Amino acid sequence: MKKGFFSIFLILSVLATLQLSAGAKSEDFNKAKRNAEAAFAELEGKIPAPAASSQAESPDQSLKSKGKTAEKPSQVSDDDMLQFAVLKGEGFGKDEKTARAAAISELSNSIVVIVSAQFVSVHEKKNGEYFSALKNDVKTKSDTFLKGVRFTKPRNTEYGLSVIAFMTEKDVVNTINYLIKTIPFDIETLSPDKFDDVMTSLSFAYSLLYAVSGSQVKEREKYIKILDSLKAETEKLATSGSVYFSAKSGVEGKVGIAGAEYALNRKIHLKPGEYSFSVKSSGYKTQSGKVTLLKGDRKFVELIFVPENLGKKEVFLRVDSPVRMIDDIEKVLLDFGIVPTQNKNLPHQLIVVSKGTSTKVGNYERYLVEVDVHTFKNGQKFKITHYEHKPFFVTPQNKNEKIREESSKVSVAVVRKFLSSIDLGEFFGSAE
């Protein structure tokens, strides 16, 4: 009897400890959310409306210079506000609705560019996967998360109706405020997909903050730390992670993972753990691998599809590079069932040109890797691609090793993506 009572007491004690722990985490999140709301509300008050901007002529002044009048700021049209845009995108369509949707898509692409330039410094710990997942979410959910967007009046062009979607600095900060306010306090009760929307809201807030000029947000690092704190507390309440299997346009297939099948190009929410997966698509070799998910993880798996019945095809390979990487490129070709040779008389040729440019920045050297890939069929160019990797810094001590490592990594990734983007059947077919 005493033993049974002790067992019940122990179980209740453990449950109470877990509840206290969960409650403490919720309180930490609530505190971080309230701090973020207060900080960004204060920031919104600091950002002047475009009419009072000292960086450019105000809408009222602009209208007066054009011989127009505006008795109230509310009478200033969105077309006149375009000159104060910090983010914008132009869209075309057969009607205003489709043109606006296309403009929003272009606007989201400009956000991706901003994230690409700045995101690594904020989320290096995610090894780029978090950024890839965000990039996908920005493109697919931009119309849901971007609330402060203005639109110009549609105008007729040779491509159809044109509309420009844009945001001023005030609109951007207002939207960040909106994103934080719409995050619920009881996020621990949310379903995985709704919780993922919260994480996307936070990521949008990061990228939008970088869109506002440094002169307007003089304490940018302060606000970054506030968002970091909110994101950290949010991730502690996560119960699952997500993985997105990305396939190139037109490829259909199934992902087998955790005992279930899912379509390609969709987000899959799973409990934390290590999972084996296989991807099957008609006409392509089956792919398999493993992925490990932690709480709050957002993994992005970009799939490279290799034709199933390609057979062994020979290609003349030339690699022009200041560092040796031909062995790495040869391995990529072999993965695709392509045999690299030095026979220049072959009808199929693949030329990889990698070069670097550097600029002195204080005691460091800023280095940029550029890669060109050319394919030739019967002496005629089949397809060309050009890629510039984001710059990195080297020192005299690590220069050679770092340039070799980055050049090889970038070139291998570019060649793999290049080969997956072309129709290999068409490339190797009917060569004389």
Q: Does residue 6 belong to any structural domain of this protein? A: no
Looking up residue 293, the CATH number of its domain turns out to be: 2.60.40.1120
Q: pLDDT by residue (tens digit) across 272-287? A: 999 999 999 988 888 8
User: Angle at Cα 364 formed by Cα 362 and Cα 368, nearest 5°?
Assistant: 120
The domain total for the chain is 3
pLDDT (tens digit per residue) in 38-71 = 999 988 888 777 654 444 444 444 444 444 444 4
- Asked if 326 and 318 touch (Cβ cutoff 8 Å), the reply is no
Same domain, residue pair 362 and 252: no
Which neighbouring-strand residues pair with 335? Answer: none
Asked whether residue 307 is assigned to any structural domain, the reply reads no
Q: CB-based contacts of 7: which residues, under 8 Å, 6+ apart?
A: none
Give the DSSP letter string of 29-48.
HHHHHHHHHHHHHHHHHHS-
Here the CATH number for the domain that contains residue 417 is 3.30.160.150
Q: What is the pLDDT of residue 259?
A: 93
Which residue among 236, 255, 276 closes a domain? 236
What would the pLDDT profile of 108-151 be if each residue is shown by its tens digit?
Answer: 877 766 655 554 444 444 445 666 666 677 666 666 667 778 99
Q: What is the mean pLDDT of residues 351-378?
A: 88
pLDDT of residue 379: 86
CA atoms of 95 and 84, how far apart (whole Å): 26
Judge if 227 and 286 occupy the same domain: no
Query: How far is CA 90 from each of CA 113, 144, 166, 301, rounded to the nearest angstrom?
Result: 15, 18, 9, 30
Instruction: Please tell me whether the overall predicted TM-score, pTM, comes out greater than 0.75 for this model.
Output: no
Mean model confidence pLDDT for the chain = 80
Instruction: Note the pLDDT of residue 221.
Output: 80
Rounded CA-CA distance 414/410 in Å is: 6
pLDDT in tens, 233-268: 998 888 888 898 988 767 889 999 999 999 998 889
The pLDDT > 90 percentage for the chain reads: 25
**pLDDT tens across 168-188, in order?**
888 888 889 999 998 999 888
Q: Can you give the residue range of the structural domain that contains 135?
A: 24-66+80-236
